Structure 1
Amino acid sequence: MPKAYQLTKSKYCKGLNCPKALYLSVHQSNLATPPGPAQQLRFDEGTEVGILAQKEFVGGVLIEEDHTQLAQAVEATQTCIGDKSIPAIFEATFIHDGVLCRVDILKRNPDDSWDIYEVKSTKEAKEEHEDDVAIQLWVLEHCGLKVRNVFLKHINPEFICPNWNEYFMDTDLTDAARFKVLKEVDSFLSKQKLLLSQAEMPDVHLGSQCGNPYVCEFKDYCWKDVPAGSSLELYRSKKKYDIYYNQYEFIHEIDPKQIKLTEFQNRQWLASKQDEPIVNLEGIRKELLKLQFPLYFIDFETVAFAIPFLDGMKSYQRLPVQWSCHLMISPESEVEHIEYLVDVDSSDDPRVACAKSLDRLFQRGFGTLIAYHQSFEIGVLNELADQVPEFEEILRESVKNFWDLEQIFQKSYYHQDMAGSCSIKSVLPHFAPELSYKDLEVQDGGSAEATLNKMVRGLLPADEVQARRHQLLKYCKRDTEAMLVILENLLDLTKVKLS
């Protein structure tokens, strides 16, 4: 059977965000970057949330035919529509005028009208969801269905496990969807079909659409020719795309009299004109002298489940399941490495187990807890204190003693090789190029979280668990080792002697 469609609801929404991304997704999909472990985790959790939503519609029927059997899926949907004993249809499939949509949940009403439910694993309705449901409404009504209401079924931000009857909330998007069908959909579809009929890919400038509302799968392809040192590296600049295309391609070309730069951006501009870093030695010394022994170089890894399994937890609430700490008791002492990784075979509550491990760590007394981007670690510890009252006192005390290594690079140190970023993975190569993450099996926090998520939920094959634990321990250790090395370099640079 020839392909009866080019557009789907997801491609339609993609085209509204970026015509080039739509064109590539249809004609050159091989240029897309495959989803990484973190992104695949989000996809999988979205599927799980969708299955959970189906349980609210007792007696509903799933259209099981997949994307390779669309004609059969459309036929099965029509059969279910004709059977009035079926109260709801899951993955109901429709094609009209080259547009395919599969409705997450289609609920039958007593008057033979239907309600559309789009299920999302988010905790709120977002603007882009309106376009998602609008195209579904357009297709279904053109297929002859009488649609009464259009809902977005999403996670209730106030849900606390195990109150499962409060997990979902429905946001009525009927008016928004009807407005878009009336005013926008026909015009947008015409433009998208014309675009897809053309032989040449549209020329679309890089812009905020590359990362919003999500990172585009074609970003690596579209950004591959952006030169190092371009004005797209301007730190937190809302005008960087305009500057890049219409004024100055490179940071070193910028005229500060014409472009108002922030303090950080000004350091970038200065650094772009020389090989050496821009350094505020006095500012760094002032911060380093705040450090008090013992020094805890600490980093957490967390999981955050869309569907939590521990009583008292919300969806996507962070659960610390791993930490690494390089510890210096005094200036003369050897650096000690201590680490923790949840034991998935234990019957202990992982929150309590983690809190106990931190209690043992902090028995050495508080000096300074050194983190990189401390708001994450502080947030994790405060949330853990809320969940484990037995250890609340020591956990609350710990957050009073943080010192953020990242602030040095936000305020007092910048080299052009950092490419507009203060992340530890951008800073580390400047100080210790031999100490990278490229030799590790787990190389970033998203991959670590995806592996931990599977491990905690018992989804890893039994023969892989030990190897994965080893990989996770090496990754987390590298983070705190990196902090230690960076701090040692700063101490050498400033000639500061800690006591």
Structure 2
Amino acid sequence: MLSKSQIMRGLQCKKSLWLRTHKPEERQLPEKVEGRFEQGTSIGELSQKLFPNGALVEFQKNNLELMCDQTQALIEQGCGTIYEATFKGNGVFASIDILHKDTRGWHIYEVKGSTQVKGIYIQDSACQYLAVKDRLDIASINIIYVNNNYTRFGDLDIEQLFCVEDITESAREAELNLIPVVTELHDIKKHTEEPRIDIGLHCSNPYPCDYSKYCRRHLTEPNIFNLYRLKKEKSTSITEMEW
């Protein structure tokens, strides 16, 4: 099984996925990442107020199976709103920020601290759909993001703070393309040799990689990346020529 985070890592760089599996000790979090994690947690908790009185599946770092069992138990008990609902299916483990049921069926809501829907969020939601589609009747897939046009006066208005965008069609299309990728990423994890992938724009797009220092270890100090305000595209192309 691959977790959603592993798939997203592999989509950005297969070498990063292999390193996370075989050389976890070389991982170094980029600057300010922890602050973004905390911000994401705060946004996630606030968004739950859009669907109040739900049940939370507690995170179990080393026991995703237990999270799946707890999710299934809540569904069988008739719970209509579940936070961090976790499923496994089609080779994927994935947690859903908010899973809500109404007369149409179940609705997936992925929460982001961004002020717009980005392409990478479609892939993210496609992973969730791939994991859950054989278990539940999914009526819609949605992104909840921050409304940057909202100005607070008095009490916080949760309905105004967030925007909700339906991405069902895009996520289902992305899920179809994701199935062969999951198989490939499973194979990458099993390889005994480190993939030969040079540094490039993918090292920071869409997210800063936590193995950047490891992959740049062959560069002397100072190097092209130390030059002030040099565009990433230019520094990368120069480095690739030197490498």
Classify the secondary structure of the residue corresponding to 1:55: helix
CA distance in 2, matches of 1:225, 1:202: 16
Q: Deviations over 1:404-454 (max 9, x none)?
A: xxxxxxxxxxxxxxxxxxxxxxxxxxxxxxxxxxxxxxxxxxxxxxxxxxx
Residue 149 of structure 1 aligns with which residue?
140
Assess, with a 3 A threshold, how the Cα gap between structure 1 residues 79 and 218 changes in structure 2: closer, same or farther.
Answer: same
Residue 212 of structure 1 aligns with which residue?
205
CA distance in 2, matches of 1:221, 1:62: 37
Give the one of 197, 202, 217 matched to 1:224: 217
CA distance in 1, matches of 2:225, 2:210: 19
TM-fit CA distance, 1:239: 4.3
TM-fit CA distance, 1:29: 1.6
CA distance in 1, matches of 2:37, 2:80: 27
Assess, with a 3 A threshold, how the Cα gap between structure 1 residues 231 and 35 changes in structure 2: closer, same or farther.
Answer: closer
Residue 17 of structure 2 aligns with which residue?
22
TM-fit CA distance, 1:96: 2.0
**Further displaced range: 159-168 or 218-227:** 159-168
Classify the secondary structure of the residue corresponding to 1:23: helix
CA distance in 1, matches of 2:224, 2:213: 18
Number of aligned residues:
238
Residue 238 of structure 1 aligns with which residue?
233
Alignment of 1:307-326 (within 5 A): none
Assess, with a 3 A threshold, how the Cα gap between structure 1 residues 166 and 30 changes in structure 2: closer, same or farther.
Answer: same
- Do 2:18 and 2:189's aligned partners in 1 also have CA atoms closer than 8 Å? yes
CA distance in 1, matches of 2:10, 2:214: 17
Residue 202 of structure 1 aligns with which residue?
195
Q: Deviations over 1:13-61 (max 9, x none)?
A: 111111111111222222111465x321110110111111111112211
CA distance in 2, matches of 1:238, 1:75: 46
Give the one of 109, 125, 132 matched to 1:140: 132
TM-score norm. by structure 2 comes to: 0.90
Q: Deviations over 1:144-193 (max 9, x none)?
A: 211111101011111212452300101211111011112x1111111101
- Do 1:63 and 1:90's aligned partners in 2 also have CA atoms closer than 8 Å? yes
Classify the secondary structure of the residue corresponding to 2:233: coil
- Do 1:59 and 1:87's aligned partners in 2 also have CA atoms closer than 8 Å? no
- Do 2:141 and 2:171's aligned partners in 1 also have CA atoms closer than 8 Å? yes
Letter in 2 for 1:25: R
Q: Deviations over 1:347-384 (max 9, x none)?
A: xxxxxxxxxxxxxxxxxxxxxxxxxxxxxxxxxxxxxx
Q: Which blocks of at least 5 consecutive residues in structure 1 are unaligned?
A: 250-499
Residue 368 of structure 1 aligns with which residue?
none
Residue 311 of structure 1 aligns with which residue?
none
Alignment of 1:248-287 (within 5 A): 248=242
Residue 88 of structure 1 aligns with which residue?
81
CA distance in 1, matches of 2:180, 2:59: 31
Residue 99 of structure 2 aligns with which residue?
106
- Do 2:3 and 2:92's aligned partners in 1 also have CA atoms closer than 8 Å? yes
In terms of Rg, which structure is larger? 1
Residue 477 of structure 1 aligns with which residue?
none
Alignment of 1:420-431 (within 5 A): none
Assess, with a 3 A threshold, how the Cα gap between structure 1 residues 149 and 50 changes in structure 2: closer, same or farther.
Answer: same
TM-score norm. by structure 1 comes to: 0.45
- Do 1:116 and 1:147's aligned partners in 2 also have CA atoms closer than 8 Å? yes
Residue 116 of structure 2 aligns with which residue?
124
- Do 1:231 and 1:248's aligned partners in 2 also have CA atoms closer than 8 Å? no
- Do 1:96 and 1:139's aligned partners in 2 also have CA atoms closer than 8 Å? yes
CA distance in 1, matches of 2:201, 2:184: 21
CA distance in 1, matches of 2:26, 2:188: 18
CA distance in 1, matches of 2:61, 2:231: 41
Q: Deviations over 1:272-326 (max 9, x none)?
A: xxxxxxxxxxxxxxxxxxxxxxxxxxxxxxxxxxxxxxxxxxxxxxxxxxxxxxx
CA distance in 1, matches of 2:207, 2:69: 34
Assess, with a 3 A threshold, how the Cα gap between structure 1 residues 45 and 232 changes in structure 2: closer, same or farther.
Answer: closer
Percent identity between matched residues is 29
CA distance in 2, matches of 1:73, 1:127: 28
Q: Deviations over 1:117-170 (max 9, x none)?
A: 00111111111111100011111013x211111101011111212452300101
Alignment of 1:426-465 (within 5 A): none
Alignment of 1:366-377 (within 5 A): none
Structure number with the bigger relative contact order (C-alpha 8 A, sep ≥ 6) is: 2
Q: Deviations over 1:212-263 (max 9, x none)?
A: 2221111111112212465556722624434433x445xxxxxxxxxxxxxx
Classify the secondary structure of the residue corresponding to 1:136: helix
Letter in 2 for 1:145: L
Assess, with a 3 A threshold, how the Cα gap between structure 1 residues 187 and 239 changes in structure 2: closer, same or farther.
Answer: farther
Q: Which blocks of at least 5 consecutive residues in structure 2 are unaligned?
A: none
Letter in 2 for 1:151: N
CA distance in 2, matches of 1:232, 1:65: 38
Letter in 2 for 1:20: K
